[in-house]
Chains A and B, each alone.
Chain A
Amino acid sequence: MNEMELLTWARGTALNLAIGLFLLGMLWRLVEIYTLGRKPDLAPPRKAEGATGWHTILRRSLSPPGMLKRSPISYIGGYIFHIGLFIVVFLFAQHIKLIQSLTGLYWPGLPSQVIDAVTVVTLATMLLVLFDRINNPVKRFLSTFGDYLAWALTFLPLLTGFLAAKHLLLPYTTMLAIHILSVELLLIALPFTKLIHVFTLFASRWYNGDINGKRGVPV
């Protein structure tokens, strides 16, 4: 298999499989989660200031008082790499073209120099966050294989995409194929790892806020 065949396979058969498995996994997990069911809450809901699902979504997206100082790498690093990933994934013209071809939706992109800069910052931040995870004894103790896997599966597409765009290390064709394949790995793993938070994060924050809000507790 030469590099062009590899690229065509990555864009064709492999993409087909990856999107299929991604959809299969996501629907499986979402159906499973949303059919868990709860007993009907018969108590009259209480009212308290800031005790709604929407409040919780906002509150938990900000750092709790004092934590920014105590754990700056987690919070600032976390913000930077999440926002960076969002920009790179959704505002790079080539990615928008892919989304358009799959869903018909499109929006304007950013110049590639901006994307390059954001990618470098995001890569550096992800390395720092990984270093902190290994360096900090508490975080290291709490980390499982799944955490490192999720980090690697997120880091690889970003790195290979950057190397491909900048024509580093390997010929562009090969690197682009590797980039696409790494994203496909990410897609397949996403529903079955903690990366599923892409889809469940705000729903679970809303749910926590709402269920506790009915009891008059802002969480």
Chain B
Amino acid sequence: MNKEETLLDHMEREGMSRRTFLKYCASLASLMALPPTAAAAMAEALGKARRPSVIWLPFQECTGCTESLTRSHTPSVEGMIFDMISLDYQETLMAAAGHQAEEALHNAMKDNYGKYVLIVDGSVATGLDGAYSCIAGRSNLDLLKEAAQGAAAIVALGSCAAFGGIPKANPNPTGAVAVSDIIKDKPIVNISGCPPIPVVITGVLAHYLTFGTLPELDGLGRPKAFYGETIHDRCYRRPFYDQGKFAKTFDDEGARKGWCLFELGCKGPVTYNACATTKWNDSTSFPIESGHGCIGCSEPDFWDAGGFYKALSTPANPLKYVGAAAAVGVAAGAAVSVANRASKNAAKAAHEKTQLTDLEK
């Protein structure tokens, strides 16, 4: 595939019909809550799109995000779009290694200065001047600052890049932070999730290619179209929640009947993501449909949010001060009681009997 080939040319060559492509654009537009006319605009823009340069920097990550995008369901239109971006640097996917890879990175940054999209997955280590995570002898912190300078926009892919994720979990030995904690002067879109849903990143890229801007974001920098509603609000088990029908264990009668998993620790009510609507594995199912509660992986600090199997309405930590508080309470009560008795005894001692003569005075 040469750099000048458009997406539509490429698709036609791959045997995909224009109709399929239009259907994909329409579904993408409706998924992102764009007006119906946007589908045509999207198809036109995407059809003509000329492979924007994308630089993908992997920091403190597990490659799960890459796995999610590349292995989700192939071949797919999302995969096609992914083929269509000029992925100039991606350690896991690129054939080059060592100095060649570094050269590719620097060439891409130089040739497309101010125009490339920077995708980051993984958190940025800041401890020991960033020495916890280095590539080619340079810290992630350094690389990010340099690469961000020439980026048109930054996509923080996955919960680690978006919010710090698991590396940032207590006690955060590497001083891990999110991309947005380091870079303040570039548009950043957080595509959180551990891993994120493939269609979300292709949706954001398609939006960027079509309109030249990032989609509307929520307070945490996530595209509202995908993170606008909670898993709970869109969950097919929601009616059971409303009826008060909960599975108590993973293999009881309630679990077999598909009742709500709230009591088993489901974090659906506080998790904003599109799992319940787009689903996973080519729209096969999503965790709750497979019988496991949502762990809240697209939310900041989900790792430290009080345990995956604890219901949201229960204490996040075991109660600590109960014994001490009870002891202090009893002691305080006893002390006040002693004081009360002392004042009562003092009053009794000071009491003088009233004589008949006193009344006649």
Contact = CB atoms under 8 A, between A and B. Distances in A.
Contact of B311 (A12, A23, A26, A97): A97
B326 interface: yes
A32 B333 contact: yes
Interface string B302-329: 1011100011111111011110111011
Interface string B261-281: 011000001100000000000
A208 interface: no
B334 interface: yes
Chain A interface size band reads: 35 or more
B314 to A, nearest CB: 4
A142 interface: no
Interface in A15-61: 15-17, 19-21, 23-32, 35-37
A98 interface: yes
A7 B269 contact: no
A5 B164 CA distance: 13
Contact of A21 (B220, B311, B325): B325
A10 B77 CA distance: 44
B82 interface: no
Interface stretch (B61-69, B239-247, B353-361): B239-247
A36 B340 contact: yes
Nearest to B271: A173
Contacts of B316: 8, 11-12, 15
Contact of A31 (B246, B317, B329): B329
Interface string A123-141: 0000000000000000000
B337 A32 contact: yes
B311 A5 contact: no
Interface string B229-268: 0101100000001111010000000000000001100000
B332 interface: yes
Secondary structure dominating the interface of A: helix
B266 to A, nearest CB: 12
B329 A176 contact: no
B311 A4 contact: no
Interface string B185-198: 00000000000000
Contacts of B242: 111-113
Contacts of A30: 333
A24 B335 CA distance: 13
Given A98-B313, A109-B244, A20 B333 contact: no
A101 B220 contact: no
A71 interface: no
8 contacts: A4-B270, A8-B305, A12-B316, A16-B321, A21-B325, A23-B322, A27-B326, A94-B311
Given A4-B270, A24-B326, A101-B311, 19 more contacts: A4-B301, A4-B305, A7-B305, A11-B317, A16-B317, A19-B322, A23-B325, A24-B328, A28-B332, A30-B333, A31-B336, A32-B336, A93-B263, A94-B312, A102-B314, A102-B315, A108-B244, A110-B244, A173-B299
